[in-house]
Amino acid sequence: VDGGVFAAVDIGASSGRVILGRVGSDGVQLEVVHRFPNGVVEIDGGLRWNFDALFAEVLEGLRAAATVAAVQGERIASIGIDTWAVDYGLVNTAGELTAQPFSYRDDRSRAAVEPVHRKLDPARLYATTGLQFLQFNTIYQLAAEKDLDGLQALLIPDLIAFLLTGVRRTEATNASTTGLFDAVAGEWATEFLSALGLRRDLFPPLIQPGETFGALLPDVASAVGLPRDTKVVAVGSHDTASAVAAVPAREDDFAYISSGTWSLVGLELKHPVLTEASREANFTNERGVDGTIRYLRNMGGLWLLSECQRTWAAEGFRPELPALLQAAAALPPGGPQINPDDPYFIAPDNMPERIRAAVRLTGDVLIDDPAAITRCIMDSLATGYARTIRDAEKLADRSVEMVHVVGGGSQNQLLCQLTADVTGRKVVAGPVEATALGNVLVQARAAGAVTGGLAELRALVAAGSPLQVFTPQLTRL
Contacts with ligand LRH, residue ranges (CB under 6 A):
12-13, 84-86, 104, 238-240, 260-262, 264, 298
Is 44 tagged catalytic? no
- DSSP per position, 393-413: HHHHT---SEEEEESGGGG-H
Report the alpha-carbon distance of residue 372 to residue 111 in Å, rounded.
35
Told to check if 156 binds ligand ADP by CB under 6 A, we report no
295's contact among ligand ADP, ligand LRH, none, with CB below 5 to 8 A by partner kind, is: none
Q: Which candidate in 10, 106, 158, 239 is catalytic?
A: 239
335's contact among ligand ADP, ligand LRH, none, with CB below 5 to 8 A by partner kind, is: none
Cis peptide bond N-terminal to 343, omega within 30:
no
| C-alpha angle 20-9-289 in degrees, rounded to nearest 5 | 100
Please identify, using beta-carbon distances, which residue of 5 and 11 lies nearer to ligand LRH: 11
Instruction: For residue 49, give the H/E element and its range.
Output: none
CB-based contact 139:179 (threshold 8 Å): yes
86's contact among ligand ADP, ligand LRH, none, with CB below 5 to 8 A by partner kind, is: ligand LRH
Q: 360-399 mask for ligand ADP (x: CB under 6 A)?
A: ----------------------------------------
Of 246, 46, 65, 232, nearest to 157 by C-alpha is 232
Please identify, using beta-carbon distances, which residue of 285 and 412 lies nearer to ligand ADP: 412
Task: Give the binding range for ligand ADP (CB under 6 A) out of 12-20, 95-103, 169-177, 327-335.
Answer: 12-20
Task: Give the binding range for ligand ADP (CB under 6 A) out of 21-29, 99-107, 131-139, 406-414.
Answer: 406-414
Count of CB atoms situated within 10 Å of the CB of 347:
14
Report the alpha-carbon distance of residue 101 to residue 5 in Å, rounded.
32
408's contact among ligand LRH, ligand ADP, none, with CB below 5 to 8 A by partner kind, is: ligand ADP
Least distance in angstroms from the C-beta of 425 to ligand ADP:
21
Least distance in angstroms from the C-beta of 83 to ligand LRH:
7
Restricting to residues 309-328, name those near ligand ADP by CB under 6 A: 321-322
Question: Dihedral angle at the C-alpha atoms of 17, 22, 23, 26, nearest 10 degrees?
Answer: -110
CA distance readout (Å), 199 to 108, 193, 247, 332, 422: 21, 7, 37, 56, 47
- Positions annotated as catalytic residues are 239
Which residues here bind ligand ADP, judged by CB under 6 A? Answer: 12-15, 260-261, 302, 305-306, 321-322, 407-409, 411-412
